[in-house]
Structure 1
Amino acid sequence: MPENTTQYQGRLEKIRQELEKQELSGFILPRTDEFQGEFLADYAERLAWLSGFTGSAGAVVVLQDKAVVLSDGRYTLQMQNQVDGDLYMTDDSTKTSVGKWLEQHAEAGDRIGYDVWLFTPKQIKSIRDALEETSITLVAMDRNLVDVLWDDQPAKPKQPVTIFPDEIAGRSASEKRQDIAAQIKAQGCSACLLSLSDSICWLLNVRGGDVGYSPLVLSYGLLYADGTFDWFVDEDKVSKEVAAALGADVRLYALDQMGARIAALSGCVWMDRSSAPIWFEQAFKRGGIEMLNLDDPCIVPKSIKSTTEQEAVRTAHIHDGVAIVKFLHWLSVSDNHAGMSEISAEEQLESFRRENPAYLEPSFPTISGFAGNGAIVHYRATPQSNADISGNGILLVDSGGQYQWGTTDITRTVAINTPTQEQRENYTRVLQGHIALADAHFPKGTIGKEIDALARQPLKDVGLDYAHGTGHGVGCYLCVHEGAANISPRGEKVLEAGMLISNEPGYYKEGEYGIRIENLVLVRDGEETDMLQFETVTYAPYDSSLIDLSMLSDLELSWLQQYSQDVYQKLCPALSGDVLAWLKNEIEKLTV
């Protein structure tokens, strides 16, 4: 049962009172911001304010007599722990969508409000399609109800914009704009709307600090067919030096000037209906502007790292590997276990990362889950949930860093004291899937779902699986979760050389333990023509006490031993003393 249930009850009651004032029957609130971001500035944590649920994906639907929190399988246990069941139902959003829930629970003639800045046209169409056989209607709202009621809502961020160096990006912002502008012109459009903050940061070679974990500038933009760019951004964030570096072809406008600039458009405008707020579509329609619905043209080129970006990624992972090895060594020292908790372990890892001056901040909130908490896929230790790390058990730590100039994401699962044979066998099965994917060779044109099964097969052979994707794209000093690249049963995007992707199979036994092993891999050209393969860029040892070597094939063992040697060679120049000796000993344990 969550704390402060009276607080959430009061907020829900006020939402219902406001709905009645506006002659609405219900309200939909997704967990996102006006830029469809994963990590939100404090002002945009509306779903957490209303319901107490802090997962990175989900939605609340409020009716006058009932309400629900919806999220996917990663957050089933978290919803149970954080959401008051007397106030909200909970459900799996992959099985019960917002539209389906409304179709089942709303009444004929109900009018359901939604914030035009928090939904894309594609999302609204999906909900409307589910309600097609009903008389339930969706009503666009100019002001979010939570914003109306949240008295001490934090201010919107104003962090300064910085330049991402051309020598790291591999191409200048002008070159990128001209490349995308050529695509706009080829489609017969006069301009393209860009609404994703990471797309704009990539295009302009800039970074910011408007949200935690991702160096983003919250903004919108219009790229024209001649390569010029209207940037709608809080001008207080952009110094004279940055404006000069951007050049005269990048014109700065305040966010409240978007309507006027849109009204001045002519011809056809390229718009990604799956990522832009529906406000833009409505504005284009009001102005009689023709729209072409195509994917954001920055997503794919952003996902394909330049050779200089790839080098920055490799360097960042060596930095990170040093911190991870120090942390794993620290965990191995039994004297450190006294008083250790999930949060203290997380803090210790952060302190090792901060020893490196190239480290800037975490790339996402660290998951430090011991025993049963490790089975909560996206667990976040809080003062209320913080478990002591003692006795026999498994600690799962999923973490990452933003370095100058690369992004990391790594998961290591560590036995505290003595693991059970079941835990060792299941860890080894996860490792076998991890190795199978890391060592895969596949033809160009392969999509993510075609190789996802490689990582799951050792678990499926004994009737086990995991309820999350196997791999997601990662940016270069940008978002740790990036579009285009995806390895999962639903991964439809083509994998291309230069993409940076995670390799993270797992297994979770509810209430007992969680296992996940994650490295980042670069897609690169294979030795054979028209083939691709992966280069693992994460460097950190696996827990030898959790590996049952007798379960590994000769090829799997050979891969593991070679990887372990690579870890040692890459990291040993930055390690010394007991830490280096520990790493050498861990690797020697894998020699049969």
Structure 2
Amino acid sequence: MAYQTFDPPTVETADIAARIARLRAQFGGLKIDGLVIPHEDAYQSEYLPPSEERLAYATGFTGSAGRAIVLEDRALFITDGRYTLQSERQVPGDIFHRVSQPDEAAAWMKANLKGLTLGVDPRLHSRADLDRLKGRAENLSLAYLDANPVDLVWNDRPAPPRGRVVAHPLAVAGRSAADKLADVRAAMTTDALLVASSDAVSWIFNWRGADVVHTPLVLSRVFIPREGLATIFVDPGKVGDDLVAALDGLAVLSPADTFLAALAELSQGKRVAADPDRTPEAALAAIEKRGTLVTVTDPTLKLKAVKNAAEIAGMRAAHHRDGLAMVRFLAWLDRNAVGLTEIDIVERLEAYRRDVGAVDVSFDTICGSGPHGAIVHYRVDRSTDRTVGADEPILIDSGAQYPDGTTDITRTIVAGTPSADFRVQFTRVLKGHIAIAMQRFPEGTMGSELDPLARAALWRAGYDFQHGTGHGVGAYLAVHEGPQAISKRSREPLLPGMIVSNEPGVYRTGAYGIRIEALCLVREARVPPGGEQAMLSFETLTLAPIDTRLVEPLLLSAVEIGWLDAYHARVHGALAGDLDADERAWLEERTRPIASL
């Protein structure tokens, strides 16, 4: 069975118009002037099971970030810069005013929401999100709805997922569930903590699931008292007797549909901590019914983000296998690119990963040839699939899930000879990638402080990219993980053991896209001679050559060339012994020092 499918979106504009009309027909009875439809589900997830894709149902948009505001006579669709082109293709412009810049969204809301009452489903919005929404327009009111209007008109809504829960072995988890619970309790300052993020629950209890495509988490929440048994809210039918037995003395299970009522009971007389950015408003209100809410940043975020020795070893092993798959794939693509379709390329890459033990992809592969490369989160389907022409660039952003780690890598190639302009742009992106990869930085440095390094070469030439430079990554969990990131907005200090991506890019609408991505481990660095302050640095985990045929060496400094040559020497040394003769010969050629080209 394939890890991903290529069925095109089937929602016609007329169908979306009819759905919006049915939503608007409910406004009078609900005494609201409009409705907010977020992308997030009740677990505040980025990636959703089909039953929770309300935004896609109402708008046609299949990306992982966005929201809609539907009024009686107009509607707004909001996403971010990664999805500008995708939203223009999927979301009908005659129904929604589409924006992807925060200032544009703010201006529309200020102009159109004054004095209105918007309906919201408190099970889908965090309190922090609702507080921000209230401030978007003068005298804007929010009405908390008992039932979601989208669910009421979604006649063919899929059934909720029932993915089986499996144990995540201690050898790769590194710490037992008992130890992790102890770590969480050591970080608590209240009588109890509500952990509302499913990936955190999966991490604490060393289990993995199949509730969400490409992300092996179990949709669940946990209430952790300072003493006594934790209560995990999950569909008990997913959890086998062996896993229930492993929870003995640690936790009990409670059906997911009892969550709000049981949470109110468990909170009685207690000071309960919860993260307002990651917990639905309905859950916070349930705590406040009988207990005292204390808002905190979820301590499990940082505990999960700082990988232990076993998790780091697993990530290194996963990247070694992934590197073998990528080398075999890139060697094949080098010989065959012209005339292939984007789907051909995606399917072959998936096959190479299967051969080295991948159990899934970590997200739908982004394979954009020519102008499709400029669509940052392009997802090929049978209606958009195009054939690669001679000398066309191809951007391939992909990753895999292995039992011991998660990968995410982007390589950009050209099916033939690159243009001089392309080589210059590729080299500017490469300079940004190298700047991040080789930077030494003091303890306490935040991602926002490093982000400009990835953009400097592009800025000097009048270019930029409209996405973050890097995101956190889980260990056989979510490919997007917080709190760490490298972006303009990230205020989280980077700590040893965190893993982040390094992925600057540049995108020329209608022409091509370029992105170079690797995953990096934050680690302690040697203090330079004469230095006085403890320092950190990045270790690049990803093992795959960067195509030096696309590089303009005159634009690289001697230090940058030294880094690239050293990286390629490490890639060759790590992988060559596990390749056959033809693959080794290809890798030898692709990892030659710059000076020998």
Aligned residue in 1 for 2:28: 20
Contact 1:544 1:589 in 2 (8 A): no
Counterpart Cα distance in 1 of 2:581 and 2:11: 46
Point out the more displaced range, 121-130 or 381-390: 381-390
- With over 3 angstroms needed to count, the CA separation of the structure-2 counterparts of 1:160 and 1:32, relative to structure 1, is same
Counterpart Cα distance in 2 of 1:224 and 1:498: 28
Aligned residue in 1 for 2:181: 177
Alpha-carbon distance, 1:589 to partner? 6.0
SS of structure 1 residue aligned to 2:490: coil
Alpha-carbon distance, 1:497 to partner? 0.4
Aligned residue in 2 for 1:437: 436
Aligned residue in 2 for 1:416: 415
Q: Could you list the runs of 4 or more consecutive aligned residues of structure 1 that deviate by over 4 angstroms after TM superposition?
A: none
SS of structure 2 residue aligned to 1:123: helix
557, 561, 567: which is aligned to 2:571? 567
Contact 1:520 1:537 in 2 (8 A): yes
Aligned residue in 2 for 1:116: 122
327, 330, 333: which is aligned to 1:331? 333
Aligned residue in 2 for 1:158: 162
Structure 1 length normalisation: TM-score?
0.96
Alpha-carbon distance, 1:100 to partner? 5.4
Q: Does 1:222 align with 2:223?
A: yes
Aligned residue in 1 for 2:113: 106
SS of structure 2 residue aligned to 1:77: helix
Point out the more displaced range, 12-21 or 489-498: 12-21
Counterpart Cα distance in 2 of 1:264 and 1:312: 37
Counterpart Cα distance in 2 of 1:160 and 1:3: 30
Contact 2:264 2:288 in 1 (8 A): no
SS of structure 2 residue aligned to 1:337: coil
Counterpart Cα distance in 1 of 2:92 and 2:472: 34
309, 312, 315: which is aligned to 2:311? 309
Show the 5 A alignment for 1:454-473.
454-473=453-472
Aligned residue in 2 for 1:192: 193
Alpha-carbon distance, 1:2 to partner? 9.1
Show the 5 A alignment for 1:46-125.
46-97=54-105, 101-106=108-113, 108=115, 110-125=116-131
SS of structure 1 residue aligned to 2:583: helix
Aligned residue in 2 for 1:130: 136
Instruction: For 2:388, give the aligned amino acid.
Output: I
Alpha-carbon distance, 1:235 to partner? 0.1
Q: Residues 360-401 of structure 1: CA distance to partner in whole angstroms, max 9, x if unpaired?
A: 101111110011111111111122222211122110000000
Counterpart Cα distance in 2 of 1:337 and 1:348: 15
Alpha-carbon distance, 1:227 to partner? 5.8
SS of structure 1 residue aligned to 2:324: helix
Aligned residue in 2 for 1:274: 277
Counterpart Cα distance in 2 of 1:59 and 1:471: 23
Q: Residues 387-437 of structure 1: CA distance to partner in whole angstroms, max 9, x if unpaired?
A: 211122110000000001100000000011111101001101111111111
Aligned residue in 1 for 2:322: 320
Aligned residue in 1 for 2:591: 587
Counterpart Cα distance in 2 of 1:526 and 1:296: 28
Alpha-carbon distance, 1:93 to partner? 4.8
Instruction: For 1:221, give the aligned amino acid.
Output: V
Counterpart Cα distance in 2 of 1:463 and 1:316: 38
Counterpart Cα distance in 2 of 1:158 and 1:456: 43
Instruction: For 2:122, give the aligned amino acid.
Output: V
Instruction: For 2:43, give the aligned amino acid.
Output: F
- Aligned length in residues: 581
SS of structure 2 residue aligned to 1:345: helix
Counterpart Cα distance in 1 of 2:430 and 2:96: 39
Counterpart Cα distance in 1 of 2:483 and 2:60: 31
Aligned residue in 2 for 1:292: 294
Instruction: For 2:158, give the aligned amino acid.
Output: P
- With over 3 angstroms needed to count, the CA separation of the structure-2 counterparts of 1:376 and 1:476, relative to structure 1, is same
Contact 1:2 1:81 in 2 (8 A): no
Contact 1:415 1:543 in 2 (8 A): no
Counterpart Cα distance in 2 of 1:390 and 1:481: 33
SS of structure 1 residue aligned to 2:414: strand
Counterpart Cα distance in 2 of 1:212 and 1:3: 21
Q: Residues 96-149 of structure 1: CA distance to partner in whole angstroms, max 9, x if unpaired?
A: 44x7543321353x3211111110000000111223x32x31111122111111
Contact 1:2 1:83 in 2 (8 A): no
Contact 1:520 1:538 in 2 (8 A): yes
Q: Does 1:348 align with 2:348?
A: yes
Counterpart Cα distance in 2 of 1:3 and 1:520: 36
Please give the root-mean-square deviation of Cα atoms over the aligned residues, in Å.
1.5
SS of structure 2 residue aligned to 1:571: helix
Instruction: For 1:255, give the aligned amino acid.
Output: A
Contact 1:2 1:84 in 2 (8 A): no
Q: Residues 463-495 of structure 1: CA distance to partner in whole angstroms, max 9, x if unpaired?
A: 111111111100000110000211111110000
Alpha-carbon distance, 1:453 to partner? 1.2
Counterpart Cα distance in 2 of 1:102 and 1:500: 37
Counterpart Cα distance in 1 of 2:25 and 2:466: 38
Show the 5 A alignment for 1:368-407.
368-407=367-406
Counterpart Cα distance in 2 of 1:476 and 1:93: 32
Gaps of 5+ in 2: 1-8, 528-532
Counterpart Cα distance in 1 of 2:571 and 2:250: 46
Q: Residues 270-305 of structure 1: CA distance to partner in whole angstroms, max 9, x if unpaired?
A: 010010000012212232x21111111100010000
Counterpart Cα distance in 2 of 1:479 and 1:197: 10
Counterpart Cα distance in 1 of 2:110 and 2:568: 54
Alpha-carbon distance, 1:551 to partner? 1.6
Q: Residues 63-106 of structure 1: CA distance to partner in whole angstroms, max 9, x if unpaired?
A: 01011111011111111111111111101252244x75433213
Alpha-carbon distance, 1:579 to partner? 1.8
Instruction: For 2:480, give the aligned amino acid.
Output: H
Aligned residue in 2 for 1:205: 206
